[in-house]
């Protein structure tokens, strides 16, 4: 819902309807109160215009924050799904008698999904490669 739709509903005294976003409800309530004050003559037109502009800015900021939170929640849900998939793959790999070398990447990816640190598997891989290199250099 756009700000102009919320503003129109508030100006006309129409109900906002079933809006699920707090930013919509906050802007609507603020605008209803602003129009009430203006109609009663408690504030002049210029001040009402300034207040409306401020409500519009706050609405835009609130919408951006809601979008950011929704994206973070979606990412969190995807991480949970990915971790669950990896856990199942790890169990199946153990049941199939696969060697630890094949299971380790699944386990590292599962840890990465659960912690939100997607670089963790690569970090472990590089550490393992350094360890092998040091081991090889030490034997020569």
Q: What is the pLDDT of residues 44-67, one digit of tens each?
A: 999 999 999 999 999 999 999 999
Rg of the Cα atoms in the chain: 28
Q: Residue 33's pLDDT band (boundaries 50, 70, 90)?
A: very high
The predicted structure's pLDDT at residue 132:
79
Q: Residue 139's pLDDT band (boundaries 50, 70, 90)?
A: low
The tokens 């001040």 sit on which residue?
A: 47
Taking residues 72-98, what's their average pLDDT? 94
The predicted structure's pLDDT at residue 138:
66
Res. 104: pLDDT tops 70: yes
With H, G, I as helix, E, B as strand and everything else as coil, classify residue 18.
coil
With H, G, I as helix, E, B as strand and everything else as coil, classify residue 14.
coil
Q: Residue 17's pLDDT band (boundaries 50, 70, 90)?
A: confident
- What is the separation, in whole angstroms, between the first and last Cα of the chain? 70
Residues 6+ apart with CB under 8 A from 18: none
Res. 93: pLDDT tops 90: yes
Q: Which is more confidently placed, 49 or 139?
A: 49
Eight-class DSSP state of 118: T
Q: What is the pLDDT of residues 118-133, one digit of tens each?
A: 888 888 888 888 877 7
Structure tokens at 95: 């049941």
Structure tokens at 97: 């008698």
Choose among 104, 111, 107: nearest CA to 128.
104
């Amino acid at each position: 819902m756009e700000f102009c739709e919320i503003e129109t509903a508030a100006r006309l005294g129409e109900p906002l309807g079933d809006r699920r976003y707090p930013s919509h409800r906050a802007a609507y309530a603020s605008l209803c109160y602003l129009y009430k004050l203006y109609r009663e003559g408690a504030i002049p037109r210029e001040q009402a215009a300034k207040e409306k502009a401020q409500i519009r800015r706050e609405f835009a900021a609130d919408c951006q924050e809601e979008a950011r939170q929704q994206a973070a929640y979606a990412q969190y849900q995807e991480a949970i799904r990915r971790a669950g998939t990896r856990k199942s793959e790890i169990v199946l790999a153990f049941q199939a008698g696969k060697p630890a070398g094949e299971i380790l990447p699944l386990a590292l990816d599962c840890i990465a999904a659960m912690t939100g640190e997607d670089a963790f598997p690569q970090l472990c891989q590089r550490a393992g490669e350094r360890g092998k290199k040091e081991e090889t250099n030490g034997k020569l």
